[in-house]
Structure 1
């Protein structure tokens, strides 16, 4: 049974898939994320291949029904069956890029980009070029430009452990005021260690747009008497 999709069409779809996924994967690899160019390309190409196979199955079913009309009511084809398996399968792959630590979760954006890349591969494989190109543009804009255009002054929690109570509290108060950092809440505790009393402050703060939380942690950690400075989840 002859293929309904020409060889040129297959090459064009796969080539477009590689270009689209490569651009998305480049952004992830440039930012040193778990899944880079090759991973995104392979996911997108795999989804494209599945979509091509799904289309071929549909065309072959139609040809079979034309050749054997008496089996028309028996033969069935579900256009979404293989595609649904791709989406669920990529979910497991995306889960592998998520790193969960005690105080943070990393890799969610990369997992989402892999899932979106699979969708782009399906669109390309099915021949929906307009959907694929516009969607790819949107995904790339979200990954590269959205954070620069829209900035959310999210609340952060910073845990600071120190030994010199008076000196450190005065320093922190002056630091937050001079850097226009708003304090929404603070929790204080203390514990006895072999080297003396260790005080702990957990601040819930709002950081100005021009200031990165990494800068705050680095600045505070350089102060004498500071034991630990780290960002924790709210």
Structure 2
């Protein structure tokens, strides 16, 4: 028979696996990074544990004939509509992915409490808070290689050749994993997004200062990461 300790270890294991996948995605400059993947994996594990073990006391009665796992599966399907509502597109970026994932996890916590699995729900809450608070602090991941991602929206009075010149000069200044994506372009103006990785916040300031030296650049926007 599984114990509460077994459940705790499964949650930890799921969070670690999700974090590893999220770390790989973050290194590739994807919107959903470490925190989002950890929360999704943690929530899925919690819902699976609830589906398998939360209803043994009900099934012990001979007159009861039901499929308790349907409760968790239906909640998983329906909570997606609320989660999507937390995702917004704003100034060429996406915000709300982590919020959507946390909504999903909180739903699982509610299922656990309703099933009488109080210690499991408490432990999951603590894990989610640690993920949200600690990993939200950029300096918490400073020791990891390529742990921080940066996104800048650059407004340029020029063409793609000027953009390529700026990108090449930034690469010569050792900006890591630099990518340029054109967002809008007409005969006189160009808007493009720069994706890159940094180790410290000071490196982001260095890049912004480097861009400000070009007279053709009229605006630089810092896009929030998730």
Scaled by the length of structure 2, what TM-score is found? 0.51
Q: Partner residue of 2:199?
A: 208
Alignment of 1:1-234 (within 5 A): 58=58, 62=61, 65=62, 72=63, 76-101=65-90, 103-148=92-137, 149-151=140-142, 152-154=146-148, 156=150, 158-163=152-157, 181-182=175-176, 184=178, 192=187, 197-198=188-189, 203-211=194-202, 213=204, 220=211, 224-230=215-221
C-alpha distance in structure 1 between counterparts of 2:126 and 2:80, whole Å: 22
CA distance in 2, matches of 1:139, 1:101: 26
Give the C-alpha shift of residue 186 in structure 1: 5.5
In terms of mean alpha carbon deviation, does 128-137 or 222-231 score higher? Answer: 222-231
Q: Secondary structure at the match of 2:201?
A: coil
- Name the SS for the 1:211 alignment partner: helix
Q: 1:12-48, CA deviations, whole angstroms, 9 ceiling, x for partnerless residues?
A: xxxxxxxxxxxxxxxxxxxxxxxxxxxxxxxxxxxxx
Which ranges in structure 1 are unaligned for 5 or more consecutive residues?
1-50, 66-71
2:220 alignment partner, SS class: strand
Q: Give me the whole-angstrom Cα distance separating, in 2, the residues matched to 1:186 and 1:91.
A: 32
Asked whether the 8 Å contact 1:98–1:105 carries over to 2, the reply is yes
Shift of 1:92: 1.1
Distance 2:202 2:153 in 1: 18
Aligned pair count reads 164
* Residue 7 of structure 2: aligned partner: none
Q: CA RMSD in A?
A: 4.7
96-105 or 156-165, larger mean C-alpha shift? 156-165
- d(CA) in 1 for partners of 2:79, 2:206: 36
SS at match of 2:66: coil
Structure 2: which 5+ residue stretches go unaligned? 1-50
Q: 1:190 touches 1:198 (CA, 8 Å); kept in 2?
A: yes
Rounded Cα–Cα distance in structure 1 between residues aligned with 2:181 and 2:77: 43
